[in-house]
Amino acid sequence: MKAVLQRVTEARVEVEGAVVGRCGPGLLILVCAMRGDTEGNAEALAGRIVKLRIFRDDQGRMNRSLLDVGGAALVVSQFTLAADTSRGNRPGFSAAAAPEIGERLYEHFVTALRATAIAVETGHFGADMAIHLVNDGPVTIPIER
């Protein structure tokens, strides 16, 4: 699985103008299941993300995790993270998991995050979404498992 983490002071996701998910200080997590991924990949990615030390400590250094700061997460499915731009001008997405598998792994990832006691909200899998965020730092980190 692939994810892009954005440290935020706030974020929200809208579908057809209605807010379907939001979070305060924490992470906006854009996530994509790749072909061949399993539930184990989803669990490993969730475990890695909540422990990643990308939040400021008292000295202003990135030394605290999402768990340490009691932050929240907004998780949004983002199959375009699987984009292959190595040829031509139009990205290919054949490395992404099939939609039914992608949705199952996305839901498993969300469940694994919630099991860590992190407050988690989500977008709607497969929907056209508008994401609004205030990037903190800015800190944007790609991660794979």
Instruction: List, in order of start, the domains of the chain with CATH numbers.
Output: 2-87+98-128 (3.50.80.10)
Query: Shortest CA distance to 63 belongs to which of 75, 71, 54?
Result: 54
Residue 6 a catalytic site member? no
Distance CA 18, CA 110 (A): 21
Say which of 6, 38, 55, 79 is annotated catalytic.
Answer: 79
Query: Which residue is catalytic, options 55, 78, 109, 122?
Result: 78
Annotated catalytic residue 80: yes
Q: Which of 9, 38, 80, 140 is catalytic?
A: 80
Give the strand pairing for 119-122 and 26-32: unpaired
**Spacing of C-alpha 135 from chain mean position:** 14
Predicted local confidence at residue 145, as pLDDT: 86
Q: What pLDDT tens digit does each residue of the chain (145 aa) get?
A: 999 999 999 999 999 999 999 999 999 999 999 999 999 999 999 999 999 999 999 999 999 999 999 999 999 999 999 999 999 999 999 999 999 999 999 999 999 999 999 999 999 999 999 999 999 999 999 999 8
